[in-house]
Amino acid sequence: MQDTHLAALSPDLQMLYAAAVVARQNSYSPYSHFAVGAAVRTAEGRIYGGCNVENASYGLCCCGERNAIFAAVCAGERNLEAICVVADTEKPVSPCGACRQVMREFNIKTILLGNMAGAIKICTLEELLPYGFDL
């Protein structure tokens, strides 16, 4: 994993981060008050955002990462290259296990974990989920 800052990212990755920050504004998190935004980029450069959506029955909640990926899939996308997830945390936020496995399902190679202060960790799918379910 590589620690970096928003300013050191390529323009493409800065755009992905910005899209995740915008998506976070739509978070529906009245129970945890933990707003998460995510954005996924396709091989063609299209970006799809997602935010976490909670429910009083916690099992029915869906994370921002999965919502971003699912939005891309609903639009017919299958070739997903990069994802960024952000939250208002001290250190870059880390995805849950379910989100990690969904990232693996779509073979997302570049994963940015970020916070609202612009701290970023860049990692590969293998670093994030070394022993996921095989495809």
Catalytic positions:
65
At 118, list the tokens: 């612009």
Are 115 and 4 contacting, i.e. CB atoms less than 8 angstroms apart? Answer: no
Write down the H helix ranges in the chain: 11-24, 64-74, 97-105, 125-128
Half-sphere exposure of 71 (CA within 13 A, CB side): 21
